[in-house]
Chains A and B, each alone.
Chain A
Amino acid sequence: MRESAVLDDLRARIAQIEGTDGRHYAIPFGIESIDCRLPGGGIATSALHEIAGSTDLADEASATVFLAGILARVEGPVFWCLRWRDLFAPALHLAGLHPDRVIHVEAGSDTNVLLAMEECLRQPGLAGVVGEVAKYSTTASKRLQLAAEGSGVAAFVFRRASRVEQAVEGTAAVTRWRVTAHPSEDLGIPSLGRPRWRVELERVRGGNPHSWIVEGCDATGRIALPAALVDRPAAQEERQFAA
């Protein structure tokens, strides 16, 4: 290992200042190669996370289920603040997020979605708060991050129709993800196998960007690494992003 004890100590101190030292609870994916790249070993609660699909509806759907899968593995109610009306609740259930746990808030506009999110984030004890927006400013992200830190609730901003090549504004979010559809394994029969996604961790505070090919959520919201890819050398997947 190239890190010395001094560096470790410094990192721990910086993390403590930044509030990413894992003293809060984190929601692990249960996949070692993903969890080890996230501070605290998973999706940190009391923090803001950004998730995007792309302009393609199928990628948006993938990102939606990816998000539902994370929330399915936490206890408590979920507030999902909407601007559009295309979310189809049965799919959340298929990823393990029971409809009784999800309260939909039709806020109507970006501003209202952010307002509703902030209101929800003041309430401790929720499993998570999701907001779907087209655009949001750095200031808004700072406000949400502060609110999430205050209550210990995980906040997710779902940036809709976000272009892959789009230069992203600075953000206070702890992680930024992009989930897009990936061709699944050909079963050789006229049927579809488990869906695959390309999950890109575009930005993570206190860590490096990375990307994985994963298999979609099962009925309890767990993703998995495809069997054929598990043993592939990590270097081959390593990609650097200008985050």
Chain B
Amino acid sequence: MASVDGQARTLGIVPGMTITKARSFAPELLVVDAEPEADLQGLRRLALWAGQRYSPVVAPDVPDGIWLDITGCAPLFGSEQALLKDLHRRVAGFGLSLQLAVADTAGCAHAVARQVPAGRPVTIAPGDHRKAMALLPIAALRLDARDVEGLRKLGFERIEQLVGAPRAPLAKRFGRQLYRRLDQALGQIPEPIDPIFPDHLPRARRGLMEPIATPEAFARVIGDLVADIVVQLTALGKGARRLDCHFARVDGHRQAIRVGTAAPSRDHAHLTKLLCAKIETIEPGLGIEAMTLVTPLAEAMSASQSDGLAGSGRKGPDIAALIDALANRFGQRHLHRAGPQPSAMPERSVARFAALASSSGIAWAGDLPRPARMLDRPEPIDVVALLPDEAPRLFIWRRRRYRVTQGDGPERLYGEWWRDHSVEGEQPYTVRDYYQVETETGGRYWLFRAGDGENPVTGPMRWFIHGAFA
């Protein structure tokens, strides 16, 4: 038996058993031939998928794990927890069972993921990896089965015992591998993750004769790498949508920067500028000895005619370059264009489109008054108004009194009863009567009454302020 599922495990079947013995526990056992080669391919595919989505530095960990270096990747998801939650949800959605662990060192994460079957992501706080490792069994250290057995015979069960024991005799007996693994897990020697890249994508590498450590030197090498990539992209007829630049430090540590573009690009100056803007996130330490530039995401891009002599005159603004610079600084989702979205409720009538999405040319109907500043959620106000359909004479908002001189309305909006998960879903007859009112000082506000003023089914007849007009 190479591997068993959870149900078989409860029956007492464990990996390593013979099929005959396992059949004696469960005669109806379903046996599928192990395909280590296919498993490895699957693992690789999963790693590359994670590489697209979460972090540029990924590698399969044979036979059953995947490494992800998520250093600096959490902000894209809001927090580390959010990243883990997303990863867990998606992989579980593929029908795989998984255990996630995050720790300072690869060894510690490896051990915790396999020894602590929590069912949800486990995070070892920074600096706590030593404590977390202490109580785990020695088998968690990625040692040979023979060494584990030998250590057990000597009375070593948990990792903390190994940490406290004199090193020389054990190292002599079990070889250097034992302490290498221990030191890696405790973070005393680095354990770089050797990232894998999709085969078919453009890639360029520069090994450096002397380690470099200054931003200017990085910028130069990035310029060279981008030039190489641009040649490859041109040959493929593609443009880069995403670029990862990996930095290999002399001490084996690896770092990466990732930039994205809103539209496929193979403009040397533009791509170089995007990458160089992030150089400051790299800690050069004692120096960088190799740099690799990969294009994990490239899209078809037709050749454009060069401007030549005729094009030296006026040119339109290069919006794509500006959008990329902003998106890489503030995040893609903080950059958008507004557009109409069919909805009866004003707060849902604005949709967000990608900043470079092709222009639809359509906009909202021009005949309905809409406020320039709208409150995120309507705030309740106290009013003096005549039912059923007169504009308020006076309203009090945020403890200030506004005397209304003129008003217009109502504009009656019916709730979207077809929405299940909203207020309207629960109260299908909701009505809002919107009024524009002008106060003594000339300020114009947008007020509404929840309810039509007559029938209590339509709403509680409370008044709200929703925004202000010009």
Chain A residues near B (Cβ < 8 Å): 56-62, 64-66, 68, 76-77, 79, 85-95, 98-100, 102-108, 112, 115-116, 119-120, 123-126, 180-184, 186-187, 190-192, 195-198, 216-217, 219
Contact = CB atoms under 8 A, between A and B. Distances in A.
B336 interface: yes
- Chain B at the A interface: SS class: mixed
Interface in B287-345: 315-319, 321-323, 325-326, 329-330, 334-340
Nearest to A62: B470
B121 to A, nearest CB: 27
Given A57-B373, A125-B316, 11 more contacts: A77-B317, A88-B371, A89-B338, A99-B338, A106-B330, A108-B330, A123-B322, A182-B442, A184-B438, A191-B406, A195-B469
A194 to B, nearest CB: 10
Given A58-B444, A76-B317, A88 B373 contact: yes
Nearest to B367: A94
B337 A103 contact: yes
B163 to A, nearest CB: 45
29 contacts: A58-B441, A60-B373, A60-B468, A61-B444, A61-B468, A61-B470, A64-B470, A76-B317, A88-B374, A90-B364, A100-B359, A102-B337, A105-B335, A107-B330, A108-B330, A116-B326, A119-B329, A123-B317, A123-B318, A125-B315, A181-B443, A181-B444, A183-B438, A183-B441, A184-B438, A184-B442, A187-B406, A192-B406, A192-B436
Nearest to B364: A90
B386 to A, nearest CB: 12
Interface of B: 315-319, 321-323, 325-326, 329-330, 334-340, 346, 349-350, 355, 359-361, 363-364, 366, 369-376, 391, 405-408, 436, 438-445, 467-470
Contacts of B467: 57, 61, 86, 88
Given A58-B469, A87-B373, A195-B469, A184 B406 contact: yes
B293 to A, nearest CB: 24
Nearest to A88: B374
A196 B442 contact: yes
A152 to B, nearest CB: 11
Given A61-B373, A86-B375, A192 B337 contact: no
B366 A106 contact: no
A134 B405 CA distance: 31
A216 B370 CA distance: 14
A58 B439 contact: yes
Nearest to B398: A57
Nearest to A125: B317
Contacts of B366: 93-94, 219
A123 B438 CA distance: 41
Contacts of A61: 371-373, 444, 467-470
| Among A85, A119, A186, A197, residue most surrounded by chain B Cβ atoms (within 10 Å) | A119
Contacts of A195: 438, 442, 444, 469-470
Given A57-B373, A112-B330, A181-B443, A99 B316 contact: no
Given A105-B326, A181-B442, A88 B337 contact: no
Contacts of A79: 322
A56 to B, nearest CB: 6
| Among A86, A95, A99, A119, residue most surrounded by chain B Cβ atoms (within 10 Å) | A99
A183 B404 CA distance: 11
A123 B375 CA distance: 32
B350 A88 contact: yes
Contacts of B470: 61-62, 64-66, 91, 95, 181, 195, 197, 216-217
Contacts of A123: 317-319, 321-322
A166 B314 CA distance: 44
B372 A92 contact: yes
Nearest to A213: B442
Contacts of B321: 123
A146 to B, nearest CB: 18
Given A94-B366, A112-B330, A184-B406, A103 B323 contact: yes
Q: Which 3 A-B pairs have the closest CB atoms?
A: A58-B443, A125-B317, A65-B470
Given A57-B468, A66-B470, A195-B469, A104 B407 contact: no
Given A64-B470, A99-B363, A183 B442 contact: yes
Contacts of A92: 372
Given A61-B373, A76-B317, A184-B438, A56 B443 contact: yes
